[in-house]
Structure formats: structure tokens, C-alpha cells
Amino acid sequence: MVDSEVRSFGGSVAPLARATFRFDRLPSQQSTPGQKQDFQDQLEAIATSALAEVGLTPDAQQPQYLAQVSASVEQVARAPVFPNQGLGGFWGFHNPPYGFGMSYYMEPPWTRYGVHMLLRDAATGLAVFESSAQHLGPWSDTANLLPAVVRAAVRDYPTPTPQARTVRVEVGPQGMSDRP
């Protein structure tokens, strides 16, 4: 189960249940010729699949919406753990092999996945739908976790839910499925 905290918002134009879109990249998201498929290309492929599940189809020539998608994947350091504080608390007598003093170890880092999706009306440029999703956990399997977080981010389309809530997406051998 991939739990993501999700918030979504409607814009000044009501979203359509079925619509077409094309991706609109910011200058920082442009790929340079000759490079292998970059992160943005991979992210847009993932987003295309997730958007199709909510009724949106790609159309590079005459889209109704312009879609901007961004994601971040970062390691988050964890606090030290003091497993054996003994009778004296933080500083005190510890059972062997620790001896006298403080003993601790560091937890492995967790990974934070963040996704932001914005749909704009292609004719007016007005925002139609905006959503963000974030997952924090011990797994660093971006190939399997990022698609689940993207799916969580678009799950509310076309009915946004501004209150922060948890969306669960199950990742398994047969693909992904949403859980209440």
C-alpha cells in the first residue's frame, strides 16, 4: 500500500469529465536534443496513464487542457535512535556491550515523493484543476512508487477535494488498484 497525502483544487473553470490534453513544459523541464529519455519524459508517460484512468486523453494538436506535471524524489534523514537508555536515562548505566554512556544508531533514510499536477484551459489559460500528492516512506523504489503517487494526485478529477486526505494505492504484481 502506498499512502499519499493528497489535496486538490478546482479553478475558475469547471473541469470536464472527458477532455483532451497535451503537456506544457516549463523552461526548466525542457529536454535537450541527444539525451536519453529524461525524468520529465518518464513522468509524463506515467501521468498520461493516470490521466487516462480519469477520462482524459492526449491530443497534441487541439487539446482542451494544457497539463503541467512536476515531481520530486528526495531522501529524508531520520533522527538517531537510542535503543538502550538503561537505568540512568539518556546518560546512564547501560547493559553490556554498551558500557557506561550513550548508545545510539541511525535509522536508514526515508524517501519523500512529491507530485504536482496543474490543468489549464488551453483557450484561456485559466486553471481548471490543481492537485498535489506526497508520500513519505522507507522504500526508494521510484519505478514502482512514483506511478502510485501520480495516480493518487489525479484520483479526485474532476471533483476536487481541498481538504488534505490520505489516498491509498495498492501496488502489486497485477498492477495498481485504489483503496478507500
> What is the domain count for the chain?
1
Q: CA gyration radius for the chain?
A: 22
On whether residue 93 sits in a domain, the answer given is no
102 occurs within a structural domain: no
Nearest to 102 by CA among 92, 117, 112, 115: 92
Domain presence at residue 52? yes
Residue 92 is assigned to a structural domain of this protein: no
> How far is it, in rounded angstroms, from Cα 16 to Cα 169?
24
Query: What pLDDT, in 10s, does the model give residues 83-123?
Result: 555 444 444 444 555 544 455 566 788 999 999 999 999 99
Question: pLDDT per residue over 154-179, tens digit each?
Answer: 999 999 999 999 999 998 766 666 65
Q: Helix %, strand %, coil % for the chain, to 5?
A: 15, 40, 45
Nearest to 178 by CA among 25, 54, 66: 54
Q: Is there a contact between 2 and 150 (Cβ–Cβ < 8 Å)?
A: no
- CATH number of the domain where residue 115 is located: 3.30.160.670
Assigned domain for 55 exists? yes
For residue 67, is it within any domain? yes
Whether 175 maps to a domain, the answer reads yes
Nearest to 54 by CA among 159, 136, 133: 159
pTM of the model: 0.80
Structural domain contains residue 173: yes
pLDDT at 149: 97
Structural domain of 34: 2-79+109-179
CA-based nearest residue to 29, from 113, 110, 118: 118
Spatial separation of the C-alpha atoms in residues 77 and 138, rounded to whole Å: 11
